[in-house]
Amino acid sequence: MREEFAITQPPDFEPAMARGAARRSLVRALAKGGIEPAQIDARVLLCAALGIDHADLVSNPDCPLGLGAALVASFAARRLKREPVSRIIGHRDFWRARFKIGPAVLDPRRATETLIEAVLDHVARSPRENWRILDLGTGSGAILCSLLQSLPGSFGAGVDISPGACVIARDNLAALGLARRGPIVCCDWTRALRGPFDVVVSNPPYVLRGEIARLAPEVRDHDPRLALDGGEDGLAAYREIIPASRDLLALGGLIALEVGAGQHEAVESLLTGEFSAPVKVRLDLDGCRRVVLACPGQ
């Protein structure tokens, strides 16, 4: 059963209100609204609204909010309605960079960094410079950008069916100076692609359709359904990606897929059925079986 909280009335934030008092007031309101971690959310929202960093917030607690009071109030109201902090401030820090996000893309999760680590561990065992990477369902481009940053001689392509997601991914690649090494293709999975790629990576939609309504409101109401809905059993995307990868992977290439809780065995079965290759599973920081990997031809 999903736990819901009543929306708490946001505090009043006046221009003369001191930053420290505003922070304490916002923490109380968020905590009362069942939002945790209230301390961190309040700090991030205040800093973003006032255009300051944490050090400035701490060292100048008596400084008045000034003209930033209205934006603080707006941010507080949005968070109390369970809009995620990252969507309010417009970006998410992921891996080693800051990524623009928007309504068309999934908010990158810490668990997805496990996918980056798994690919880089594979690459470290076979050192070379010119890795060719394919990111299916690229969304914000966070996975593709992170791999291209970590592998300076590599080239990649990101694919997404959402035109809005493709715009954001291109913006993120350009902001990081990676646009020439990472074109974005707007198409349905692999329909417009030709290989070979050394790495095929994906964090596809994997939430069971019937479970979406029971997700936390930060996810259910703000992540695009297209990026969540994995079909009736959560495996629809894997049934498309895995067979299509056969014609896209280079000899000895790696396919690395993020999976939801309890899905690793089903995805392992799909991989072994298609490739007859050994499959490995990688745990995320919470101990969940998060990434399934196979190296056909090795």
Distances (CA, A) of 70 to 44, 67, 245: 16, 7, 51
197-242 pLDDT, tens per residue? 999 999 999 999 999 999 999 999 999 999 999 999 999 999 999 9
- Tens of pLDDT along the chain (298 residues)? 344 555 667 788 999 999 999 999 999 999 999 999 999 999 999 999 999 999 999 999 999 999 999 999 999 999 999 999 999 999 999 999 999 999 999 999 999 999 999 999 999 988 787 999 999 999 999 999 999 999 999 999 999 999 999 999 999 999 999 999 999 999 998 887 888 999 999 999 999 999 999 999 999 999 999 999 999 999 999 999 999 999 899 988 999 999 999 999 999 999 999 998 889 999 999 999 999 999 986 6
Same domain? 64 vs 143:
no
Q: Does residue 1 lie within any of the structural domains?
A: no
Q: Does residue 165 lie within any of the structural domains?
A: yes
For residues 69 and 26, give the distance between their C-alpha atoms in angstroms, rounded to a whole number. Answer: 12
Same domain? 23 vs 114:
no
What is the domain range of residue 183? 95-294
Per-residue confidence (pLDDT) for residue 129, from 0 to 100: 79
Same domain? 58 vs 127:
no
Same domain? 72 vs 118:
no
Q: Does residue 103 lie within any of the structural domains?
A: yes
Closest CA to 18 of 78, 75, 58: 58
The residue among 82, 115, 134 that closes a domain is: 82
Number of domains in the chain: 2
Q: Does residue 153 lie within any of the structural domains?
A: yes
For residues 186 and 3, give the distance between their C-alpha atoms in angstroms, rounded to a whole number. Answer: 37
